């Protein structure tokens, strides 16, 4: 079997036999050796090739089970086991060097129960020693290559990678190519530091673009890119990779002002760093705002580190990580009491975030029909946890994407999900193929209505205007928050109404206000009197929505919210106060005067309005009360004044109302929302837990408001007591 097959075999075995005590005696040695061989092969791919084919979570599962086997059956422990060290398993061209102090690993935790178990263990040890006062320090863990670097007689003389923590590669020649690292310092003593070699996210993006142009496999993350870059034999090529260095620990015992090294020391916001309460630490580890703050940085962080230290240290930073020599009379330091194992210190533990990348296998491929007629392939994968969400479906976008990524059905793929973003397949793990994979072939017929499909460029289209899947998508979009904003017409309600034959197109939305249809609605489950009344009221209200909402709701190809708003502004300048005048402006191609309207958008608009079905739809909507008037008073106030006259605002967490509601209220007052403060931003709103945006706003001299009650009074903001939006709209791809 190859490595991929062995890995799958062991993963299935762990599920079948979660307790090593239940391993049959006749197969124990064979199974134990298979775990050793498989993990050694993965170590080589990770440490030497910097091309792992499994995720950290999958590796941790294999390694943890191997340790359990050795705990239950200590008589079979082999010196070749990965638990006994890494050095002999790996080989490479760099010379080996020894660390002055072992660079230990950290014990891992994945949830609050793991942290509490660690706390219980250290509390018992401290209690026996008569210590009951200490504090916890929370630090971010850089996701890079851990190293020791040494200064001697003013100069940087050596840099050693960590690997097994005792001895490994001397990569000084390549480290010298990192321009940000000082080569000479003022201190004459021998100094040893521990730090991380990192590749910024922005640099990884540039590097992967270049690699894809050369048909090379892109790096899956910044850690692998940094590790592989340091292994290049051409040091000049290392210089081009844009690596940086961050330090977080001094290993030697010589006092030093390490700020003089000019290296970045990244810390969390002060209110997240120190506490004496373990429950506060757990709360901070699980706080999504903290994770978001770290994700906004240009450096990758893969977990948090919880450290124990004496509270008598005050505001001193924990730069003396392995320095236990006590020169005071306060008694043994808490870290001396706790000490550690050969593998990890007991006074620290790592809390690993739910993975942002994970390996999973494609089980099947579906084809989904969108409102734009496009048929999109969607992969059903083995469920994986990414950023506190379970991912089981991933869009494959189009067949050009499938070909570029060389994705096949049954492939193992690496899936990525940034904060609250739709999951994305980064790359295919070809090393895990076992010849059972199948090519993904475009369908010949629509998977819903069985209509013949059409191929145009990279997309496949269902051209049947009455396809049920398209009808649902179009109605959902028409009623969505950025279109006609019809409350209660979300996915679940639309599914029922289309399946029951009440809705065949967006025109039928306005027939729901008829008495006979209201009576029919009462027969459906979960359609109570108040709900039906609200649906009817929202539908009537939508007839007077501003023109940009109508343009956005009509699913004109390539015309989205921003373009719809710009078109409405232009039509207002042309005094287009009826459907006929709007069509006249479009038909005469006057919008070509707008420099941002290209031929592609122009052609799609002309094609759309020249379709007889479209003209019938527009006339039908007009006859049923929908107002096509660009000059009408805009209830949303979004087009009442010119863009140049509008003030820009930004905000940061957290307010008593939802973010979208806060933004909506301000946009109704002629303000423009900036996701991040910039040179155009005039006002910054902050309240509880301000993050990096507040600091950025201060640096840009932006006026800041930080009292919610005053904000409501100054800007005349009104919010409903009950947020209707929170209970109706279902967002997301699936």
Cite the active site residues.
141
Which residue, among 101, 327, 300, has the nearest Cα to 194 in the 3D structure? 101
Which residue, among 111, 115, 107, 99, has the nearest Cα to 170 in the 3D structure? 99
Q: Tell me how crowded residue 612 is: count the other CB atoms within 10 A of its CB.
A: 7
SS3 content of the chain, % helix, strand, coil (to 5): 40, 20, 40
Query: Within 13 Å of residue 149, how many CA atoms lie on the same side as its CB?
Result: 26
Burial 104-120 (b: 16+ CB within 10 A, else e): bbbbbbbebebbeebbe
Residue 397, both tokens: 């976008």
Residue 688, both tokens: 């509880």
Q: Confirm if 349 and 138 have CB atoms less than 8 A apart.
A: no
Q: Tokens 């050693």 — which residue?
A: 160
Q: What is the DSSP string of 311-362?
A: GGGTT--S--TT-----SSS-S-HHHHH-B-SS-BTTEEEEEPPPSEEEEEE
8-state DSSP, 625: T
Sheet holding 375-386, edge to edge: 389-395, 375-386, 357-369, 412-416, 424-428
8-state DSSP, 459: E
3-state secondary structure 124-185: HHHHHCCCCCCEEEEEEEECCEEEEEEEECCEEEEEEECCCCCEEEECHHHHCCCCCCCCEC
Instruction: Write the CA distances from 69 to 17, 28, 291, 341, integer angstroms.
Output: 11, 9, 35, 19
Q: How far apart are CA 400 and CA 99, in angstroms?
A: 49
């Amino acid at each position: 079997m190859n490595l991929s097959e062995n890995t799958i075999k062991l993963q299935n075995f762990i599920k079948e036999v979660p307790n090593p005590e239940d391993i049959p005696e006749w197969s124990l040695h064979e199974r134990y050796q298979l775990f050793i061989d498989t993990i050694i092969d993965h170590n080589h791919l990770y440490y030497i090739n910097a091309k792992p084919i499994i995720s950290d979570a999958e590796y941790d599962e294999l390694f943890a089970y191997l340790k359990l086997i050795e705990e239950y059956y200590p008589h079979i422990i082999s010196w070749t086991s990965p638990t006994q060290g890494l050095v002999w398993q790996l080989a490479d061209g760099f010379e080996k060097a020894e660390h002055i102090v072992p660079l230990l690993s950290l014990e891992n935790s994945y949830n609050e129960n793991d942290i509490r178990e660690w706390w219980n263990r250290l509390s018992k040890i401290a209690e026996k020693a008569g210590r009951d006062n200490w504090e916890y320090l929370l630090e971010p863990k850089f996701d890079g290559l851990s190293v020791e670097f040494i200064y001697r007689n003013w100069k940087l003389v050596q840099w050693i990678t960590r690997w097994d923590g005792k001895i490994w590669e001397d990569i000084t020649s390549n480290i010298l190519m990192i321009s940000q690292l000082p080569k000479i310092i003022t201190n004459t003593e021998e100094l040893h530091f521990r730090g991380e070699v990192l590749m910024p996210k922005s640099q990884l993006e540039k590097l992967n673009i270049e690699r894809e142009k050369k048909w090379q496999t892109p790096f899956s993350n910044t850690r692998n890119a940094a590790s592989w870059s340091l292994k290049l034999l051409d040091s000049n090529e290392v210089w081009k990779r844009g690596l940086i260095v961050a330090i977080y620990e001094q290993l030697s015992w010589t006092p030093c002002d390490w700020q003089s090294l000019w290296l970045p020391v990244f810390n969390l916001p002060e209110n997240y760093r120190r506490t004496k309460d373990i429950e506060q630490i757990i709360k901070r580890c699980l706080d999504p705002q903290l994770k978001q703050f770290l994700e906004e940085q240009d450096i990758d962080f893969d977990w948090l580190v919880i450290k124990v230290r004496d509270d008598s240290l005050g505001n001193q930073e924990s730069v003396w990580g392995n320095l236990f020599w006590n020169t005071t009379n306060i008694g043994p330091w808490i870290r001396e009491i706790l000490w550690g194992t050969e593998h990890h210190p007991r006074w620290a533990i790592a809390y690993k975030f739910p993975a942002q990348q994970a390996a999973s296998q494609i089980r099947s491929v579906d084809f989904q029909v969108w409102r734009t007629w496009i048929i999109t392939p969607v992969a059903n994968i083995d469920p994986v946890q990414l950023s506190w969400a379970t991912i089981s479906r991933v869009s494959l976008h189009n067949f050009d994407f499938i070909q570029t990524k060389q994705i096949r059905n049954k492939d193992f793929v690496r899936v990525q999900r940034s904060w609250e973003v739709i999951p994305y397949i980064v790359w295919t793990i070809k090393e895990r193929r076992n010849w059972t994979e199948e090519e993904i072939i475009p369908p010949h017929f629509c998977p819903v209505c069985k209509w013949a499909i059409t191929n145009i460029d990279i997309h496949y289209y269902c051209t049947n205007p009455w396809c049920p899947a398209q009808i649902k998508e179009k109605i959902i979009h028409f009623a969505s928050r950025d279109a006609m904003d019809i409350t209660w017409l979300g996915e679940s309600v639309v599914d029922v109404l289309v399946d029951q034959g009440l809705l065949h197109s967006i025109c039928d939305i306005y027939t729901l206000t008829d008495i006979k249809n209201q009576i029919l609605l009462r027969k459906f489950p979960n359609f109570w009197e108040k709900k039906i009344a609200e649906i009817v009221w929202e539908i009537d209200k939508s007839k007077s929505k501003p023109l940009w909402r109508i343009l956005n709701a009509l699913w004109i190809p390539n015309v989205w919210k921003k373009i719809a708003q710009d078109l409405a502004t232009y039509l207002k300048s042309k005094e287009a106060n009826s459907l006929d005048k709007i069509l006249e402006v479009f038909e005469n191609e006057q919008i070509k005067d707008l420099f941002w309207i290209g031929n592609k958008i122009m052609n799609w608009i002309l094609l759309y309005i020249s379709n007889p079905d479209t003209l019938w739809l527009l006339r039908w909507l007009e006859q049923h009360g929908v107002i096509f008037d660009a000059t009408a008073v805009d209830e949303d106030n979004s087009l009442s004044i010119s863009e140049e006259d509008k003030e820009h605002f930004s905000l940061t967490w957290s307010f008593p109302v939802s973010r979208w509601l806060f933004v909506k209220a301000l946009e109704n007052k002629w303000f423009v929302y900036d996701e991040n403060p910039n040179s155009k931003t005039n006002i910054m709103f902050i309240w509880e837990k301000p993050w990096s945006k507040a600091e950025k706003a201060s640096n840009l001299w932006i006026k800041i408001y930080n009292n919610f009650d005053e904000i409501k009074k100054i800007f005349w903001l009104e919010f409903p007591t009950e947020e209707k939006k929170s209970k109706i709209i279902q967002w997301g791809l699936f």
